[in-house]
Amino acid sequence: MTTQLQHTCRRMVSLYGRQRLYGYPMLQQCRWFSKSTTEKVKAGDPTKVIDLPSFPAENIRNFSIIAHIDHGKSTLADRLLELTNTISSRGSNKQVLDKLKVERERGITVKAQTVSMFYKYKGKEYLLNLIDTPGHVDFSYEVSRSLAACQGTLLLVDAAQGIQAQTVANFYLAFGEGLHIIPVLNKIDLPGAEPERAIKQIQSAFELDTSSILQISAKSGINIDQILPSVIENMPCPSGSIQKPFRALLFDSWYDKYVGVVCMLGVVDGVLRKGDKVYSAHSDTKYEITEVGIMHPEQVPTGYLHAGQVGYVVCGMKSASEAHIGDTFHHLNTKVELLPGFQPAQSMVFAGIFPVDTNDFRKLDENIKKLTLNDASVSVHKETSNALGQGWRLGFLGTLHMDVFRQRLENEYDANIIVTQPTVPYRGKMREKRIDD
Ligand SMILES: Nc1nc2c(ncn2[C@@H]2O[C@H](COP(=O)(O)OP(=O)(O)OP(=O)(O)O)[C@@H](O)[C@H]2O)c(=O)[nH]1
Ligand SMILES: [Mg+2]
């Protein structure tokens, strides 16, 4: 970034304050392109950047976007991020929440991503936490985990394709969680769009009220401005209490090479501040919160989170196995009712993974642990093969999931591995006790 732009940014911040300027496209550029500015924000008093205590529960909405694959979830997320000035609308944003290399190469979402947005509606400022979810069935565990941190969801239906398999499956996931579901018809700009047919399908399959269904085009931006008012008016706000002792649900985690394990928390009750000592119910370990903040869209420290808010924490977890998806965090010496957590994922396809060079076993072991931190649906067991040596038997939700995991190991951890043919476990019942040759 040029010195002149830096200077102008600094001047605007000093004139108007950081918080009010955060949505400015130019300051967005400062965040995108200047590492030093981000560091300065981090180094300064973080609560000055975004004033989270000023958002009571009634001004918060936590929602996700669910749909069948390719119905336009990530494209809709782009438009909402632009609308709320979370990212600059200059230039073309294409599925910005698909941050992984594998997602960009394949054009699909494999990882649910959380992002916090600020939006003014009828004179009030709202904090909206959005989770973009994958549509492919192999990543449905990501969807079910994400829904636990939401009170509502946008059920997106492609107006040309109508309802498809994962529309139904994801609808029932959201319905089972008791979320408020708003149906939205997307891609109405397509020549082959048949909105009337899709509306009839939504009505008959889900019995949702479609009298005022939103009809949008996430790609061209038609009617995008109707989405957030509908979210605010129709979806319930989080029900937790700021007065109660702090407790939060750990619903996602990843490994950062500089700070170690980063956990995403949905705060159910109470207040969490930087420096607080917290306790993990699952690992029976205490931690000190060294950083707390929100995804906006990258990590922005706020020093504070309270009931109903969703954000990340860094608490000096040493090993990847300490972050247990579905864990309850609470303050030391307080008794809270533990949150229900999640059902473990049911692996469908199994494959052996072995290092090409047997000396890489330890390194690969560490890398598999780090990657499973970001993908809790993979089951891991050690295995030894006469031909290939020491390795692992990994369980996946499907063959695409397996292939994506392999590619992530190679892309993100430079792994050099052999993957065996996938197999599906089955149980056979013999009619005869013995079969003779
Ligand atoms: N014509 C048209 N194309 C759209 C619209 N919304 C999304 N698309 C296109 O549909 C394709 C899939 O969009 P994505 O946003 O990646 O879909 P997704 O639901 O996030 O896909 P997964 O996350 O992989 O399930 C892309 O080529 C988009 O450009 C729309 O409103 N109109
Ligand atoms: Mg997507």
Interval 378-391 mean pLDDT: 94
Interval 277-285 mean pLDDT: 93
pLDDT at 221 over 50: yes
- Confidence at residue 10, expressed as pLDDT on a 0 to 100 scale: 39
DSSP E strands in 20-85: the ranges are 60-66
Give the confidence band of 436 by pLDDT, cuts at 50, 70, 90: low
pLDDT at 33 over 50: no
- Confidence at residue 199, expressed as pLDDT on a 0 to 100 scale: 97
Quick: pLDDT tens for 332-353. 989 999 999 888 899 999 999 9
Q: Where are the domains of the chain?
A: 2-30+344-428, 52-234, 247-331
Pocket flag, ligand 1, residue 135 (CB < 6 Å)? yes
- Confidence at residue 12, expressed as pLDDT on a 0 to 100 scale: 37
Q: Is 180 marked as a binding-site residue?
A: no
- Confidence at residue 321, expressed as pLDDT on a 0 to 100 scale: 82
Distance 34 CA to ligand 2 centre (A): 27
Q: In the chain, what percentage of residues exceed pLDDT 70?
A: 88
- Confidence at residue 431, expressed as pLDDT on a 0 to 100 scale: 80
Distance 286 CA to ligand 2 centre (A): 36
Q: Is 355 helix (H, G, I), strand (E, B) or coil?
A: strand
The Cα–Cα gap between 240 and 265 comes to: 14
Lowest mean pLDDT among 82-86, 107-111, 354-358, 431-435: 431-435
pLDDT at 375 over 60: yes
Pocket flag, ligand 1, residue 189 (CB < 6 Å)? yes
What CATH number was assigned to the domain covering residues 247-331?
A: 2.40.30.10
Q: Tokens for 121, please give them.
A: 């509606």
Give the confidence band of 389 by pLDDT, cuts at 50, 70, 90: very high
The reported pTM is 0.86
Quick: pLDDT tens for 90-149. 878 899 999 999 999 999 999 999 999 999 999 999 999 999 999 999 999 999 999 999
Angstrom distances, CA of residue 48 to CA of 100, 249, 266, 311: 31, 26, 22, 17
Interval 179-206 mean pLDDT: 97
Pocket flag, ligand 1, residue 219 (CB < 6 Å)? yes
Pocket flag, ligand 1, residue 134 (CB < 6 Å)? yes
Quick: pLDDT tens for 8-17. 333 333 333 3
Angstrom distances, CA of residue 253 to CA of 264, 291, 317, 327, 436: 6, 14, 11, 11, 53
How many of the other CB atoms lie within 10 Å of CB of 357? 11
- Confidence at residue 49, expressed as pLDDT on a 0 to 100 scale: 56
How many of the other CB atoms lie within 10 Å of CB of 150? 26
Q: In 3D, which of 393, 296, 356 has the Cα closest to residue 32?
A: 296
Q: Tokens for 162, please give them.
A: 């109508």
pLDDT at 368 over 80: yes
Ligand 1 pocket test: pick from 142, 161, 219, 226 the residue with the most ligand atoms within 8 Å of its Cβ: 219
- Confidence at residue 298, expressed as pLDDT on a 0 to 100 scale: 93
Pairing mode, if any, of strands 60-66 and 124-132?
parallel
The Cα–Cα gap between 333 and 248 comes to: 15
Pocket flag, ligand 1, residue 144 (CB < 6 Å)? no
Question: Do the Cβ atoms of 327 and 341 come closer than 8 Å?
Answer: yes
The answer regarding whether domain 2-30+344-428 maps to CATH 3.40.50.300 reads no
Sorted by sequence, the CB contacts under 8 Å of residue 371 that are 6+ apart come out as 255, 378, 405, 408, 409, 412, 413
Q: In the chain, what percentage of residues exceed pLDDT 90?
A: 79
The Cα–Cα gap between 353 and 102 comes to: 19
Does 321 or 26 have the greater pLDDT score? Answer: 321
pLDDT at 187 over 80: yes
Based on the number of CB atoms within 10 Å of its own CB, is 140 exposed (0-12), middle (13-18) or buried (19 or more)?
Answer: buried
Interval 287-299 mean pLDDT: 96
Mean pLDDT of the chain: 87
How many of the other CB atoms lie within 10 Å of CB of 233? 11
List beta partners, residue 277. Answer: 288
Lowest mean pLDDT among 58-62, 339-343, 413-417: 339-343
Q: C-alpha 306: how far from its chain's center?
A: 19
Interval 220-244 mean pLDDT: 97
Does 3 or 190 have the greater pLDDT score? Answer: 190
What CATH number was assigned to the domain covering residues 52-234?
A: 3.40.50.300
Atom of ligand 1 nearest to the CA of 71: 19
Q: Is 135 marked as a binding-site residue?
A: yes
Question: Do the Cβ atoms of 265 and 247 come closer than 8 Å?
Answer: no
Give the confidence band of 40 by pLDDT, cuts at 50, 70, 90: very low
- Confidence at residue 212, expressed as pLDDT on a 0 to 100 scale: 87
Orientation of helix 73-83 relative to helix 227-234, angle to 10°:
90
The Cα–Cα gap between 169 and 175 comes to: 10
The Cα–Cα gap between 223 and 227 comes to: 8
Sorted by sequence, the CB contacts under 8 Å of residue 255 that are 6+ apart come out as 261, 262, 320, 370, 371, 373, 374
